[in-house]
Structure 1
């Protein structure tokens, strides 16, 4: 069976961009896409909208038909799945049934919608699935494989969870150049934190052992600003953030470095779930 990539789909431009980009990324491994559309049925959610049952059926059918038209135009095989379940339930069912390598979501350019998306959708998806999550900004993304990938890391050791390890063949197939990005934090007392971050990244297995890996260090700058500047300076076309249990899932998204990066990143951001030695997987706690 070919690898699967699940895209949270609707009729928005952001979702369409995300699906097209996911198709390009998955083609190197002959992956197929599953476009998961969450349809809010007025019968189940009467406070959202009031329409007749016949109109409800037609609307759901028409939406699915339009998504199928988009699926036919993608670079890899794709199917559409419409669910009336709540987000977490629908995604969890899809993950159990298809065991996807990657989950993909489009990011709206409007900050109000973006904040709602991050807190109400992205965070629950991470908590529920423990799967790598790719967030694709609505702004134009070149429809090609990434050439340069920036990996933002700190000086703390981490280990990839099973889902992240399963993603490695797909990452390797892109043949991209990698740069480790480390922002010096005020008060770091141990010597050479950038080199430690680089070594921990190598030991994690996220980057192939034979892959050249450069180090970009920034100092006297806020962490999010440093990461975003590194994306520009290295001409990266994808950014990877490590989603640790205690550093990613505890506080609200809008209080985190991660959220600030996501609000302003000009390139897709891949959140890779990891564990920290001595901690249980996905213990509640955000960067």
Structure 2
């Protein structure tokens, strides 16, 4: 049976970037008193038998070192924290954790220079889980909950999937100000696209009905550049992107606006999947 108590799952590979992300997740979880789940993949070393022989003692020491490092990180976090380790493949491990814990979101740290492999891994997590995913750059300032959240939305209607809609209490707990960003796409021909974007956010039920929303429109720059310019202008400390299934289910994700923003963003980016025709069978049970 799934554990439905509020939680945030952090992909903890013990890198500096993942530890930075875990600390930010602890800050975000505090208003709701959500617990952190540090999810770590344990890889047994497989040295070349012609070069070195690894004894059972070496294997146990390696695992003990990993456990000790995770425990040290846990003691540094100002939140109730649970450690979960797995020997399964990474994507399978994440999908199992999502089905078991139904967390509010997944959190992943990234290095300063986001590589193509990073983007493909992030896309694979979205593709297999359809779950909200927070990407935390290693250089981002993460000492407090967001004060200004920017939501980048186009003029086309969208419906958030159940997991994304379940983010609403956590967003509300941060008591942030919100700016809707609309960066006009070259093929956009609808009248008043910024106002349509604003209406789409209101209809999404992501935020309480009375939430004040400011609108920022960028018409001269390409969408990814426009979003980054807007983030700088409004001094946002968290960016929210609505990710449509045709983006993360497609083969050209690394060419998408989402991928371009992930490469460039100096602040954490929250990816919220929209409803699509192909979702994990268990996701519908959240409705």
| Counterpart for residue 109 of structure 2 | 106
Alpha-carbon separation, structure 1, partners of 2:261 and 2:46? 38
Pick from 67, 70, 73: which aligns with 2:73? 70
Matched, 1:13 2:16: yes
Alpha-carbon separation, structure 1, partners of 2:270 and 2:187? 28
| Counterpart for residue 167 of structure 2 | 167
CA deviation vs aligned residue, 1:111-152 (integer Å, no higher than 9, x gap): 4xx321221x21111111111000000004231010000000
Matched, 1:80 2:87: no
Q: TM-score, normalised by structure 2?
A: 0.90
Question: Is residue 10–residue 67 contact of structure 1 (8 Å, CA) maintained in 2?
Answer: no
| Counterpart for residue 28 of structure 1 | 31
| Counterpart for residue 214 of structure 1 | 214
Structure 2: unaligned runs, 5 residues or longer: 281-287
| Counterpart for residue 268 of structure 1 | 268
Alpha-carbon separation, structure 2, partners of 1:281 and 1:240? 22
CA deviation vs aligned residue, 1:185-225 (integer Å, no higher than 9, x gap): 22322211111111111101122210000110001211100
| Counterpart for residue 141 of structure 2 | 141
Distance 1:110 1:247, change over 3 A: closer
Distance 1:18 1:201, change over 3 A: same
Distance 1:235 1:78, change over 3 A: same
Alpha-carbon separation, structure 2, partners of 1:144 and 1:77? 17
Aligned positions, number = 275
Alpha-carbon separation, structure 2, partners of 1:45 and 1:191? 64
Structure 1: unaligned runs, 5 residues or longer: none
| CA root-mean-square deviation | 2.1
Alpha-carbon separation, structure 2, partners of 1:18 and 1:93? 21
| Counterpart for residue 240 of structure 1 | 240
Alpha-carbon separation, structure 2, partners of 1:37 and 1:155? 39
